[in-house]
């Protein structure tokens, strides 16, 4: 999942004038991220930048 996010964010930045992409991002954050915010918060907590733990979901 982190690989997808790492690829998607630069793509969004490069294409921020694309109206369809902007609508998709807004819809994603409104309908998906907001409902799953606790899961994402936990994931961020489990994978801090200074972590030395070898978890596959933390690798990019």
Is 55 domain-assigned? no
Is there a domain that residue 56 lies in? no
**Within a domain: residue 35?**
yes
pTM over 0.75: no
Does 8 score more than 60 pLDDT? yes
Is 41 within the bounds of a domain? yes
Q: Let me know if residue 57 belongs to a domain.
A: no
pLDDT at 13 > cutoff 80: yes
**Distance (Å, whole) CA 9 – CA 28:** 13
User: Is the sign of the CA dihedral 4, 7, 23, 40 positive or negative?
Assistant: positive
- pLDDT at residue 37, rounded to an integer: 77
The count of structural domains within the chain is 1
53, part of any domain: no
48 three-state secondary structure: coil
Contacts of 2 (CB under 8 A, 6+ apart): 47, 57, 58, 59, 60
Range of the domain at 29: 2-47
Helix (H) or strand (E) holding 14: helix 2-14
- Using one digit for the tens of pLDDT, what is the confidence trace for 19-39? 999 999 888 888 877 787 787
């Amino acid at each position: 999942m982190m690989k997808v996010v790492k690829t998607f964010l630069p793509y969004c930045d490069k294409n921020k004038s694309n109206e369809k992409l902007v609508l998709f991002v807004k819809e994603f954050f409104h309908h998906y991220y907001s409902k799953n915010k606790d899961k994402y918060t936990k994931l961020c907590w489990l994978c801090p930048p200074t972590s030395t733990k070898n978890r596959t979901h933390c690798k990019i």
